[in-house]
Amino acid sequence: MRVATIALMTTMAFAIAACDQKPDKNKEVTIDTGSGKVTMTGNSNEGKMTIRGNDGKSVVEFNTDNAKLPSFIPAYPGAKIATTMTGTDGNGSGGMVAFTTSDSPQTVLAFYKQRVLGGGMKEAVTVNSGNTTMWSANDEASKRGVQVTATKADDGKTTAQVVWSGK
């Protein structure tokens, strides 16, 4: 139910932001969910959106300037960021960054394997399917995890997504 509510609110926020007729103007909407209020701020011109719960601890951000990778996930050098999403609540945080690079999927995966495994995580799964490879690692003790998916696109570039969670 909670996921459905968040999905509905996210859809509504994008719809509200899309109706914005003035570029660079933020729209803010507050919705009473019955169990609290959620405030959404969006800017359709910049493709940015923030959703805040009334507890002060729950925040989800899409393509904002505040999107920072956690210390255990390095940024890929020279990558062109396509989109970001981060979220926090009282239990931890997580997020996703999608990017493109001229490097091969194998080079992207090798970069993350070296740094993530060097930071104490254990390799969990590797899946290959056509032009796409997905790799994941986790650390049960610290409750951190990462998943990297890299695909060779038709234009020769690599598209990649890095998803993480942790305390």
107 and 77 inside one domain: yes
pLDDT in tens, the chain (167 residues): 344 344 444 444 444 444 444 555 678 778 787 877 877 777 777 777 676 777 766 766 666 655 678 888 888 999 998 888 878 777 778 888 889 999 999 999 999 999 999 888 999 999 999 999 999 999 998 889 999 999 999 999 999 999 988 87
The CATH number linked to 96 is 3.30.310
Beta pairing partners, 80: 100
Q: Which domain holds residue 117?
A: 67-167
Enumerate helices (H) and strands (E) in the chain, giving the number of each. 2, 10
41 and 84 inside one domain: no
Output the pTM of the full model: 0.72
CA 69, CA 62: separation in Å to the nearest integer? 13
The residue out of 19, 42, 61 marking a domain boundary is 61
Find, among 111, 167, 161, 159, the residue nearest to 138 by Cα: 167
93 and 143 inside one domain: yes
